[in-house]
């Protein structure tokens, strides 16, 4: 059992962001810039199209191929769709120490382990499979599956409802303050990810038993 906190309920569930915490970001500003430079694409032209479509992409309303068709391949290019997609997938890299920490917590069976993350469907599935996230998490509250995105309150409420946890017994880890603000307002404990050691210390302060 988890250690009882001084102020009430014990932590029984830990919710994790994926990009920027466990893995590199999937398709954030840095990844987009690298990709545009690699393929010689105009950033202003691309970003105007991206901003119109990213919400639909991450909510699972359009596929990655549909997104590419409307942001990149609406006119002929000197590279193929597969070349472009494979390069984007190659940008995903693990954060080994944090993954090891999460894996140890999962193996302890003390806590419900789940994600709350914004990601398009095909990238989300690729990253789950490639980096063995099914071995760590029993639930993926991904925007592409539930049609909601952080920092919308609805995605956090859905995670709490699905897991039947009180906010006070949940911890949410993310690298972005805006995403943490909503969780905190709902009563969840929050940790801003800075480093694996800082994360370990913050979890310990919440009474989480570390591996």
Mean pLDDT value across the chain = 96
Domains assigned to the chain:
13-24+94-205 (3.40.50.1000), 29-90 (1.10.150.240)
- Residue-wise pLDDT tens digits, 26-74: 999 999 999 999 999 999 999 999 999 999 999 999 999 999 999 999 9
pTM, rounded to two decimals: 0.94
**DSSP secondary structure letter of residue 27:** S
pLDDT at 5 over 90: no
pLDDT at 174 over 60: yes
CA 143 to CA 183: how far, in whole Å?
Answer: 15
Q: Taking a C-beta distance cutoff of 8 angstroms, is the pair 138, 162 a contact?
A: no
Nearest-5° angle of CA 120, CA 96, CA 209? 100
CA 77 to CA 115: how far, in whole Å?
Answer: 36
CA 111 to CA 159: how far, in whole Å?
Answer: 15
CB-based contacts of 66, cutoff 8 Å, min separation 6: none
Walk across the sheet containing 139-142 and list its strands.
139-142, 112-117, 13-16, 170-174, 189-192
pLDDT at 1 over 80: no
Query: Mean pLDDT throughout 79-89?
Result: 97
Share of the chain above pLDDT 70, in %: 96
CA 154 to CA 80: how far, in whole Å?
Answer: 38
């Amino acid at each position: 059992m988890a250690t009882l906190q001084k102020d009430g309920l014990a932590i029984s569930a830990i919710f994790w962001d994926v990009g920027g915490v466990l893995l590199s970001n999937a398709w954030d500003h840095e990844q987009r810039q690298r990709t545009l430079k690699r393929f010689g694409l105009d950033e202003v032209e691309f970003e105007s199209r991206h901003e119109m479509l990213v919400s639909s992409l991450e909510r699972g309303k359009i596929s990655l191929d549909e997104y590419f068709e409307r942001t990149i391949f609406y006119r002929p290019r000197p590279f193929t769709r597969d070349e472009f997609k494979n390069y984007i997938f190659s940008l995903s890299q693990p954060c080994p120490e944090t993954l090891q920490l999460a894996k140890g917590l999962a193996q302890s069976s003390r806590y419900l382990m789940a994600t709350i993350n914004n990601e398009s469907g095909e990238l989300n599935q690729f990253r789950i499979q490639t980096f063995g996230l099914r071995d760590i998490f029993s639930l993926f509250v991904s925007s592409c599956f539930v049609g909601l995105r952080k920092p919308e309150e609805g995605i956090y409420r859905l995670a709490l409802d699905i897991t039947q946890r009180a906010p006070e017994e949940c911890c949410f880890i993310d690298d972005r303050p805006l995403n943490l603000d909503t969780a905190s307002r709902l009563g969840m404990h929050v940790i801003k990810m800075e480093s694996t050691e800082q994360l370990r210390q913050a979890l310990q302060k919440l009474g989480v038993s570390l591996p």
